[in-house]
Amino acid sequence: MQKNKFKVACLQMTTGMDINKNLSILYKKMKKAKARGADLIITPEQTLLMAKNKKQLFDQISIEEDDFGLSKIKEIVRELSVYTIIGSISIKYDNKFALNRSYAFDSEGKIINFYDKIHMFDIKINANEKYFESNTYKPGRVLSSVELPWGICGLTICYDLRFPYIYRELAQKGAKFITVPSAFTVKTGQAHWHTLLRARAIETGCFIFAPAQIGIHENGRKTYGHSLIISPWGDIISEAKDNDDMIIAECDTHEVALMRKKIPSINQNYDYI
């Protein structure tokens, strides 16, 4: 029987360049979240490694079957016995490309689904700040969701946030919650983070869970933080401050049905020219 209420924890991290060190930090944060009553734990994009360059990345990752970091995450989830969505880690695809992949685990540490980031962060903010993820990552092609004890959860990653059609489709396919693990830049975060996340919640009538990277990373990148949990009405339920390592909130799936009854736009489709 499906449960209606659960506690979700969104972890906030400043991931570095040492996978073992990041695993240790992840374990402590997840253990703390479990102690605080979390039924579901969600981590940011690139939970285990923020590499300095492509060579350093490929020196530390492997194909899924052989990946050290992924195997250790399975052990952590199994020990803590808590549903977990690892926002993303890098998995080797071939000798040229990696995958930016989100993993969902049940409470026994079994992978129950995954999602490969579809939209690559290929942008030029200014002369000094530019990113071309497509040089390193192979984009995903398929939307993905996972059945949790409280309902269906849609999976997205960071830059996907700017493409609302995928959120609408996830909601139309039954999602009550959608994850947006991220490593937003400071500049784009200050300008767009809150607005885009609230819009995705309002448009879909879903809870939005957005754990984020924060601060100055060892590879020189600066990320915005402000992890958020947002209601289907678009209200910010919980927001992380700069020194917070996580946020936790109780969610009730009845709020999804209530929002969609008030404003049924997710199920209203019109033909237009």
Which residues are the active-site residues? 45, 117, 158
Determine contact, residues 137/97, Cβ cutoff 8 Å: yes
End-to-end Cα, the chain, rounded Å:
44
Q: Tell me the C-alpha distance between 27 and 149, whole Å.
A: 23
Residue type, 58: F
CB atoms within 10 A of CB 227: 29
Determine contact, residues 139/164, Cβ cutoff 8 Å: no
Determine contact, residues 118/141, Cβ cutoff 8 Å: yes
**The CA-based dihedral angle spanning residues 115, 117, 119, 124, taken in that order and rounded to the nearest 10 degrees:** 160
Q: Tell me the C-alpha distance between 219 and 160, whole Å.
A: 23
For 147, the enclosing helix (H) or strand (E) is strand 144-148
Q: Tell me the C-alpha distance between 104 and 111, whole Å.
A: 6
- Residues near 179 by Cβ (< 8 Å), separated by ≥ 6? 42, 85, 87, 102, 153, 154, 155, 156, 209, 210, 211
- In order, the DSSP letters of 244-266 are -SEEEEEEETHHHHHHHHH--GG
- In order, the DSSP letters of 55-71 are HHHHHH---GGG-HHHH
